[in-house]
Each structure stands twice: as C-alpha cells, then as structure tokens.
Structure 1
Amino acid sequence: MQEHYRPFYSHHLGHDLEMLVFGQMGYPIVVFPTSMGRYYEAKDFLLVDSVRWFLDNNKIKLYCIDSVDRHTWYAKHLHPSVRIDNHTRYDQMLSEELFPMLQRECHVDKIGVAGCSFGGYQALNYAFRHPEQVAHLFTMGAAFDIKQFLDGHYDDNVYYHNPPDFMSNANSDLFQHMNIVLGTAEHDFCKGSNYQMSEILTRKGIQHWLDVRPHGTHDWPVWREMFPHYLSLLP
C-alpha cells in the first residue's frame, strides 16, 4: 500500500495544508478527520487499514486531509463570526484549490468524500454545498448541526454551513445523482442527528441510505466496519 506525505500551499488559507495520500491509482476519496483531528488520524486509528484491499487493488485512492478546527469551530478565543469566516476560507480552499487539483490528477468529474464523527459533518456539508464536485458521500457517526459551536451567533455564513438549515430549502437535480450514505449505530449519541438529516432528505425526495448498525457506539470499531462496506458499493 503506497503512502505519500503531500503538503500543498493554499492561497485561501495562507499556509500549507498537510495531507497523506494512500494508493497509486483509483477513484479519489477525500477523508476528513474528526474534531481537532489531523491528516494522519485515519492511518493511526486503522481506518485506512480497513480498506487496504481497495487500495491494493487500485479501486480507490485516499486523500486524508488536515482540518483547521483550531481556527474555526473550536477556536473559543475568536469571535464566532471570525470562526465561521475562517471555515469559509477552508471551504474555498477545498472547492477552488484541492478538489480541482484532484479532479485533474485522477481524471474524474466528481470525487467521493467521507468522514467519521465531526469529519462526517465536514464531508456532508461540503458535498451538499458543492454537489457539482461530489459523487459519493459517506458519513460515519456524524452530527450535522453546528450552531452549538457559535455561542448564539447566526448569520448567512452560519446558515450556509449548517446542513439542517440550508438543505431544508436547497434545490438541485445534482442531489439525485449523488450516492449518499448516513452511517450510525444504535448506541451512537449522534444517531438522532442522522435520523433528522434522513427525514430532511426524504421530504425533499433525495435518495439515500440511513444505515443504523444494531450494535456499536460512537467509536472507531464500528466506523472501520462501515467504511469498507460503503466502498464496496462503488460502481
């Protein structure tokens, strides 16, 4: 299994974004880390190992990227408006720098995104904001309402980065062409958030799979079980 450390400079962030890339060729999947997680987290917690077969057989190529949570959602020393502005720059880095680079590199029109816990929020928020760039969305143990991180502050940026709000009013035929999986477990404290998101998508007629595992909690063992299952469903 090939592994490469690939930082790249982001003009939107004004600094390097660190990234680990696994695999030689195959369909690109961007993996977002959990809360305050780093680009090496998926490797350290064996999520990458759980999909080794797909990597060894050139089915996928994983791009495990860094977060900027310490400057955004978890930056309690910053005013909430600054936190959300910083996340908006992260989103611009993804949509205007990273994803176009990966589209060219892998010769694809759209990319897959995945994440566990808060990484699942990052993946879903990005996919639903940019359905023209995302074909597959896999969330595992995620919650999707980020208002709790902003101390009561609410503006247009918050609205457009809070999927339970903006998806209730979103309209795009592109959602119908996206493979959406919301993964959770019976004893996951984020289970209710997945039911809520599933209800929003159902009301809008957006096809998806709400996968509730009968056993397991909010932890890596169930996510390592989910991820290879979801990748096995790729065309």
Structure 2
Amino acid sequence: MQEDYRKWYSHHLGRDMEMLVYGNWGYPVVLFPTSMGRFYEYKNFGFIESVRWFVETGKVKLYCIDSIDRDSFYARHLHPGTRIWNQVLYDRFLHDELVPGIQRECNERKIGVAGASFGGYHALNFAFRHPEQVGNLFSMGAKFDIRSFLHGYYDDNVYYNNPVDFVPNDGNPELYHMNIVLGTSAYDFCKPANEQMAGILGRKGIRHQLDIVPWGDHDWPVWKDMFPRYLSQI
C-alpha cells in the first residue's frame, strides 16, 4: 500500500500535527485513534492491513490523524473548562483546516469518518456537529457521553461536544442524509451507550444501523472484523 507521512502546523492548535495517509485515490475516510492514541496506532495494531484490498484497489483513501486527548479529556492536571476548550480548538482544526484540505484533495463534498473506542466518539461528535462535511460515519466500540471526564463541570462547550445532549435537539437536515453505523459487540462495556445512541437517532427518524457483533468484547479483533464490512457499504 502507498503510505504517506505528513506533518504540518495547525494555527488553531498552535502545534504541529502528524498524519499517515494510505492510498493514492479513493473515497476519503478519516480515522480517529483510540484514547490518547497517535496517528500510527492503526498501522501498529494491524487495522490498516485488514482493509488493504479497499486501499490498493482505489476504493478508499485513509487518513490516520493525531488526537490531542492528553490535553483535553484526559488532561486531569487542567481545569475542566480548559480541557473542553482544547476540544473546541481540536474541532476547529478538523472543521477549518484538515477536512477542507481532504475535500479538495479527493474532490469530495462529504468525507467519511471512523474510529474505535474513544476514536469512535471523536468520529461521531464531529459528524453530528458538521453533517454538511460528512457522508459516512462508522463508530466501533465507542461511548458518547463525555461528562464523566469533566467532574461535574458543564457549559455550552460541553453541551455541543456531548452528542447525547445536543443530538436530540439538533434539527440539521443534513443528519438525515448520512450513512451511520454504530458498531459494538455482545460483551463490549460500551454496548449500552450504542443502544442509547441508536434510541436517540431512532426517535428522530435518522436512518442508522446498530451492529452488535455476537462475540468478542472491547478489543481490536472485533474492530478489525467490523471495519472491512463497513467500508464495503461506501
């Protein structure tokens, strides 16, 4: 597979960001890493290898990006207000810098986003905040309520980055034109969170698929089984 390492400066975040890109052409899919993970995580765990065929045949082009979890949700040394503000800046980096560049590079109006575990939260949160930029969403083993990271702190920034809060009240019509898959497994501790999110979407009449694998728990073998199946829907 074609692998391309990229590094550039983000003006919103005030730091260099790194990324691995797989493929020369194809439908773009951004992959968010798991909790505090780095841009090379999906390569190291064999996740990219599981979808080699889709990349080599030009079906998809994968963008494995970095997170800033250590400075946001997992930054216990920072005030919760600062943590969620750093998440706001990360969202602006995605919305204003990263995704527009990918849209131009691939000549696509809407991209795909995906992620496992906490990466699934990031994928879903971005997709539902900015459905005009996202056409396909694949979350795997994710939870979507981030209030437990903030120790009771709550403001508008928390609300608009907490999908279980803002999605029920969101009237954006673009939400109804997205391919959404919520992936979990029978023994995944995040299964109830996916059932809750499926309920929220169902009550709003938003088309989605709740995929509960009848084996496995919260781990890479389950996610590597899911992702090729999800990409085949594009």
Q: Place the TM-score, normalised by the shorter chain, in its bin.
A: over 0.9
2:146 maps to 1:159: no
Quick one: distance in 1 between partners of 2:140 and 2:45?
Answer: 14
Matched residue SS, 1:5:
strand
Q: How does 1:203-218 map to 2 (within 5 A)?
A: 203-218=203-218
Q: TM-score, normalization: structure 1?
A: 0.99
Distance 1:95 1:88 in 2: 10
* Corresponding letter in the other structure for 2:85: D
Give the structure 2 partner of residue 228 of structure 1.
Answer: 228
Alignment partners' CA distance in 2, 1:216 and 1:7: 36
Rounded to whole Å, the distance in 2 between the matches of 1:222 and 1:45 is 12
1:148 is matched with which residue?
A: 148
- Residue 3 of structure 1 corresponds to which residue in structure 2? 3
The SS at the match of 1:87 is helix
C-alpha distance in structure 1 between counterparts of 2:130 and 2:233, whole Å: 22
Distance 1:82 1:76 in 2: 10
Shift of 1:42: 0.5
What percent identity do the matched residue pairs reach? 64
CA distance in structure 1 between the partners assigned to 2:112 and 2:65 by the alignment: 13
Give the distance between the partners of 2:221 and 2:214, measured in 1 at CA.
13
Give the CA deviation at 1:172.
1.5
Q: In the alignment, what sits opposite 1:99?
A: 99
**TM alignment of 1:61-100, pairs within 5 A:** 61-100=61-100
The answer as to 2:168 corresponding to 1:168 is yes
Q: Which residue of 1 aligns with 2:28?
A: 28
What residue number does 1:41 align with?
41
Looking at structure 2, the residues matched to 76 and 213 of structure 1 have their Cα atoms a distance apart, in angstroms, of: 33
- Write the distance in 2 (CA, Å) between the matches of 1:121 and 1:36: 13
What is the Cα deviation at residue 9 of structure 1?
Answer: 1.1
By how many angstroms is 1:232 displaced? 0.5
Partner Cα distance (1:216, 1:223) in 2:
10
Equivalent position of 1:131 in the other structure: 131
Q: Give CA deviations for 1:30-80 in whole Å, capped at 9, x if unaligned.
A: 000000000000001111111000001000000000000010000000000
Contiguous gaps of at least 5 residues in structure 2? none
The one-letter code sitting in structure 1 at the alignment partner of 2:19 is: M
Question: Using the alignment, how far apart are the partners of 1:92 and 1:172 within structure 2?
Answer: 19
Aligned to 1:122: 122
Q: Distance in 1 between matches of 2:135 and 2:127?
A: 8
Q: Structure 1 unaligned runs (5+)?
A: none
Q: In angstroms, what is the RMSD of aligned CA positions?
A: 0.4
* Mapping of residues 48-67 of structure 1, within 5 Å: 48-67=48-67
String of CA shifts for 1:151-179, please: whole Å, max 9, x gaps.
11000000000000000111111111100
Alignment partners' CA distance in 2, 1:90 and 1:167: 19
Segments ≥4 residues shifted beyond 3 Å: none
